[in-house]
Structure 1
Amino acid sequence: MWMLVLFVLQLFLRSAEKMVELDGDHELDEQAAAELVNATSQVAVMRSPGATYLDIRINKIGLKDASVYVNPSIAVSVLNGAAIAFEFFHYKAKKRKKSCRCWALLEMDEVKDGPVVLELYQKPMDPTRKRIHLFTEKELYLQLELRLQTL
């Protein structure tokens, strides 16, 4: 039986030295500033022996305008036990809300040890894949490192 332990992973697209300074039009409210401060906190999860776990490491996400995103993050969720969805969110200062920019889908038949490359799709997320469109015409991907562990 698969037991998936997934976290909401924070993705830092630029180093601290290259942080974009916000001007007067992009002032953050107090809640958004607090999210930026606590962006790296993660919760430890106990793993029970005898179960199989999937560890996911996000190596890279191909975004051509990466420097303009404020508080970027990737939400990871399991859909009906058949797929894992990755949604790229960022904070919109003018609207004071988080917005989904693009998403990717990892199906269970694609789960294996080693590197995996997923295509990025335009929002809104459609896990049924009936009406999906690629994020851009360029080859931009979500690059993951998967590791299966049996304890």
Structure 2
Amino acid sequence: MGDKNKVLARWRTSLTRGIGHDSWGQLVEAVDEYQMLSKQLLRESSFNATLFNDNQKKTLSKVAACLALRSKALQSPHDTDGFTLEELKKVDSALETLLSGAQTEFPVAVPAEAALFRPTTQTGNFELDLDGDEIDDDQENEESGTNTAVVTSPGIKPLGKLFPMIPHEKGTTNLTVRVEKIGLKSISSYLDPFITVSLKDSKGVDVTKAQETPVSTKREDPYIIFGVDVHMQRPIEKMPKGTAIFFEFKHFKVKKRTISTKCFAFMEMDELKPGPVVIELYEKPTDFKRKKLSLLTTKPLYLHLYLQLLTD
């Protein structure tokens, strides 16, 4: 009981802090606090978590849904139907009475599709269904295997996996790609966005190990900002003929507890010139063989890069 009380006290303090930011108009700080707390609650709502019982987990998942809905409302100020601050203030009572069970009904109305805490038929795990937490304007094939990776601890941000610059060899050219930003519709809908960068030969086989940018936390409509240098792990001259650099934009999906690929872009070797580069975005699934390509959108939204070529 003591551990539960300590955890609940910490969560309520976090909620109070977020509401304080929200009340003072500090929207960025409020969203950060709400998203952090939501992920903690989701983690303790998972099937493998043992601190709380199933009924308590259901309540925690609803609180997490409310936090996600309020975060979305703050990032979409023109949405008049968003979850309000006054509604969120009432949610604290659900945490206050979680252990005693004194509150039999959840204090606010949460859309049924926004908080479904249920066991899945295949795994027996519980999942939080947050339809509307993100906007996907394409039909998804989440079971392809190449574009979705199951996240066992929901809400954990990928930390990024970048390699240092390789030693320079005489007579060769090292390539560093700075991933500047990506233009997308509804940028506030993407949770924990990052980009996987990989080198693939003409048959779609890895030339080197893939790298991942850290999660982006900066947005300037219509862009998600990265500003990250990715050092290619093989000199240009030693890349197989037909090699291309792929960039896959990925984000965390609360609904399915997966990391999903939204779109991808690529550059071929004859496009490698120093300076700024803007490349088109294509619909998933990622086609590493570059045979069937469909543009993501007709709007002028692209991946922005900056190339550095280091020679003798």
State TM-score, norm by structure 2.
Answer: 0.38
Give the Cα–Cα distance (whole angstroms) in 2 for the partners of residues 60 and 32 of structure 1: 26
Q: Aligned-pair distance for 1:129?
A: 3.1
Q: Percent identity?
A: 41
Aligned to 2:275: 114
Q: Which amino acid is 2:262 matched to?
A: R
Q: Does the alignment pair 1:150 with 2:311? A: yes
The correspondence for 1:88, drawn from 223, 246, 249, is 249
Aligned to 2:198: 77
Alpha-carbon spacing, 1:42–1:126, altered in 2? closer, same or farther (3 Å): closer
Q: Which amino acid is 1:129 matched to?
A: R
Higher strand share: 1
Other structure's SS at 2:278 match: strand
Q: Does the alignment pair 1:44 with 2:164? A: yes
Higher helix share: 2
Q: Aligned-pair distance for 1:30?
A: 7.9
Unpaired runs of at least 5, structure 2: 1-27, 39-63, 69-127, 129-150, 202-239
Contact 2:155–2:252 (CA<8 Å) still a contact in 1?
no
Q: Aligned-pair distance for 1:49?
A: 4.2
Q: Aligned-pair distance for 1:19?
A: 4.2
State TM-score, norm by structure 1.
Answer: 0.74
Aligned to 1:97: 258
Alpha-carbon spacing, 1:18–1:103, altered in 2? closer, same or farther (3 Å): farther
Unpaired runs of at least 5, structure 1: 1-15
Aligned to 1:133: 294
Contact 2:249–2:262 (CA<8 Å) still a contact in 1?
yes
Other structure's SS at 1:135 match: coil
Q: Aligned-pair distance for 1:58?
A: 1.2
Aligned to 1:35: 157
Give the Cα–Cα distance (whole angstroms) in 2 for the partners of residues 110 and 44 of structure 1: 23
Other structure's SS at 2:270 match: helix
The correspondence for 1:61, drawn from 182, 186, 190, is 182
Alpha-carbon spacing, 1:126–1:42, altered in 2? closer, same or farther (3 Å): closer
Q: Aligned-pair distance for 1:43?
A: 4.5
Q: Aligned-pair distance for 1:76?
A: 0.4
Aligned to 1:12: none
Other structure's SS at 1:35 match: coil
Aligned residue pairs total 133
Work out which of the two has the higher radius of gyration on C-alpha atoms and give 1 or 2: 2
Give the Cα–Cα distance (whole angstroms) in 2 for the partners of residues 132 and 41 of structure 1: 27
Query: In the TM superposition, what whole-angstrom CA distance separates every residue of 1:104-124 from its partner, at most 9, and x where no partner exists?
Result: 010000001011110000001
Give the Cα–Cα distance (whole angstroms) in 1 for the partners of residues 275 and 154 of structure 2: 35
Other structure's SS at 2:157 match: helix
Alpha-carbon spacing, 1:86–1:19, altered in 2? closer, same or farther (3 Å): farther
